[in-house]
Structure 1
Amino acid sequence: MKKIKILSTKKLSKDLKYLFDDLKFDLHHDDFISIQLLKLNLPKHNGSWIFTSKNAVEAVFSSNQNIDNFFNKIYCVGKNTKELLIKKGQKITKMTQNSSNLADFILKKAKNEKFIFCRSNIKNEEFSDFFNKKNIELKEVVAYNNIARPIKYNQIFDAILFYSPSGIKSYLINNSLNNSYCVCIGKTTSKYAHKYSNKVLSCNVPTIENVIHKTIKLFEND
């Protein structure tokens, strides 16, 4: 039986790799993005903070500043980001599954607060523009760099797993999507993938495990 070819654009842990049946799937996985945490000098701020990734959390908490009592309110995106913040001893005011839902919540419940958004060097224009359009005060701090690692593959995959728009950009430097399914971690990534493909699937809850489960389910009848 011909195996189903899968590419993950992020290296998977041993436990995650084991979710794929070796007899059915031919799995390839590589990091198409490398992360560079930046040295930060965080501004004093008695308002609210936004984290949309674990990388931003790691960058902030690896700074040399004493931040034990630094944060007032914290808003975040994603279960993994929330769990890391809790592990760092922080309380979460609100977690949502994506930045669009967080923007909606802030507009309804917190539009008079002042925010600092810790993000990557690749700006989420839609999220940032929301604050400007709604006249909500926002200061953005670049906490880490997303650096492309464009790896060339001389084969066609049945499905490619994407975890960020920057991962898609990096993949496309040396490769084409051809007729592959694009299985995306969430709304922002799937929206970007739709620019290049009409075979896009997205997870309702953005976790790596859910990307894998959605991929396996896609081929359950093959």
Structure 2
Amino acid sequence: MRHLLSTKVLSKEQVEQLESAGWMVVQYDAISIEMQQTPIEPGDQTLIFTSKNAVKAFLRSFPKEDFSGIRCLCVGSRAVGMLRERGCTVLEEAPTAEYLARLIQKGYAKDSFIYYCGDRRLDRIPDALDRLGVQWKEAINYKTILNQKAFNREFEAVLFFSPSGVESFTRNNNIQGAMGYCIGETTAEALRKHTNRIIIAKTPTIEGLIAEVVAETNLLNH
């Protein structure tokens, strides 16, 4: 029996998918999210979100607001869905922050922005906005806490869902010969500091990552 570690607690159905493919699953939450009161109201600026946690914190901070007419640029279909449910107009839906940064540079040189994000956000969006020379503000509305845990054993596969999850795991563990499955390129970039044995999900969702594991497992079994 091969052993797989997920750095995020999965649903029962997701675990069963992996078990059906022949994996013994160990799981924990490598990070925790602490929501903060959103410090800046949206006003008439274009809003940027690169994570569903930033969207959740934003919507919780203004529970009674009708956001009809609010313009947003967003990463991830789930985050987009939450914004649209509250009336926001999503101008761009991007698969990654890097892709969204390129869209901003190409088509939004006349806008001003608020970037809602976590305390461990990467520099892709700020760098793009600075290069454009536009007005923008940063609004940190959630914190990422690393839940460090040591595993005195080896795994054949480890699932990673964020750069912070990679950092949390590798502070106390060596990935050694395991295959690192990453939800997206940004997560893979963080993992490349520790291994070159990486597979990236074709669709940057939990379901997409699990599908990648199952597909690769089926290939190995034949």
TM-score range, shorter chain: over 0.9
Q: Is the 8 A contact 1:185 1:211 kept in 2?
A: yes
Q: Is the 8 A contact 1:37 1:143 kept in 2?
A: yes
* 42 and 213 in structure 1: CA distance in 2 versus 1, 3 angstrom threshold: same
In the TM superposition, residue 196 of structure 1 has moved relative to its aligned partner by 1.1
- The DSSP-based 3-state class of the residue aligned with 1:75 is strand
Which amino acid in 2 is paired with 1:5?
Answer: H
- The DSSP-based 3-state class of the residue aligned with 1:27 is strand
Alignment match, 2:210 = 212
Number of equivalenced pairs: 220
Query: Any runs of at least 4 consecutive aligned residues in structure 1 with deviations exceeding 6 A, and if so which?
Result: none
Report 1:13-52 matches (<5 A).
Answer: 13-22=11-20, 24-52=22-50
In the TM superposition, residue 36 of structure 1 has moved relative to its aligned partner by 0.2
Which amino acid in 2 is paired with 1:15?
Answer: E
In the TM superposition, residue 151 of structure 1 has moved relative to its aligned partner by 1.5
Which amino acid in 2 is paired with 1:99?
Answer: A
Q: What CA RMSD, in Å, does the superposition of the two structures yield over aligned residues?
A: 1.7
Which amino acid in 2 is paired with 1:147?
Answer: I
* 159 and 15 in structure 1: CA distance in 2 versus 1, 3 angstrom threshold: same
Residues in 2 aligned to 1:119 and 1:47: alpha-carbon distance in whole angstroms? 16
Q: Is the 8 A contact 1:48 1:71 kept in 2?
A: no
Worse-matched range after superposition: 12-21 or 161-170: 12-21
Deviations 1:9-56 (A, max 9, x none): 000011211211347110111101000000223235312001111111
Q: Is the 8 A contact 2:68 2:88 kept in 1?
A: no
Q: 1:157 aligns with which of 152, 155, 158?
A: 155
In the TM superposition, residue 58 of structure 1 has moved relative to its aligned partner by 1.1
* 81 and 64 in structure 1: CA distance in 2 versus 1, 3 angstrom threshold: closer
Q: Is the 8 A contact 2:67 2:88 kept in 1?
A: no
Residues in 1 aligned to 2:201 and 2:209: alpha-carbon distance in whole angstroms? 6
Which amino acid in 1 is paired with 2:202?
Answer: N
Residues in 2 aligned to 1:71 and 1:118: alpha-carbon distance in whole angstroms? 18
Alignment match, 1:94 = 92
Which amino acid in 1 is paired with 2:94?
Answer: T
Worse-matched range after superposition: 68-77 or 48-57: 68-77
Alignment match, 2:131 = 133
Q: 2:169 aligns with which of 171, 179, 193?
A: 171
* 218 and 103 in structure 1: CA distance in 2 versus 1, 3 angstrom threshold: same
Q: Is the 8 A contact 2:102 2:128 kept in 1?
A: no
Report 1:178-197 matches (<5 A).
Answer: 178-197=176-195
Residues in 2 aligned to 1:88 and 1:4: alpha-carbon distance in whole angstroms? 44
TM-score by length of 1: 0.92
* 63 and 139 in structure 1: CA distance in 2 versus 1, 3 angstrom threshold: same
Consecutive unaligned residues of structure 2, counting only runs of 5 or more, are none
- The DSSP-based 3-state class of the residue aligned with 1:92 is strand
Residues in 2 aligned to 1:144 and 1:90: alpha-carbon distance in whole angstroms? 20
In the TM superposition, residue 195 of structure 1 has moved relative to its aligned partner by 1.3
The reply to whether residue 81 of structure 1 matches residue 79 of structure 2 is yes
In the TM superposition, residue 110 of structure 1 has moved relative to its aligned partner by 1.4
Aligned identity (percent) is: 28
* 174 and 119 in structure 1: CA distance in 2 versus 1, 3 angstrom threshold: same
Worse-matched range after superposition: 79-88 or 109-118: 79-88
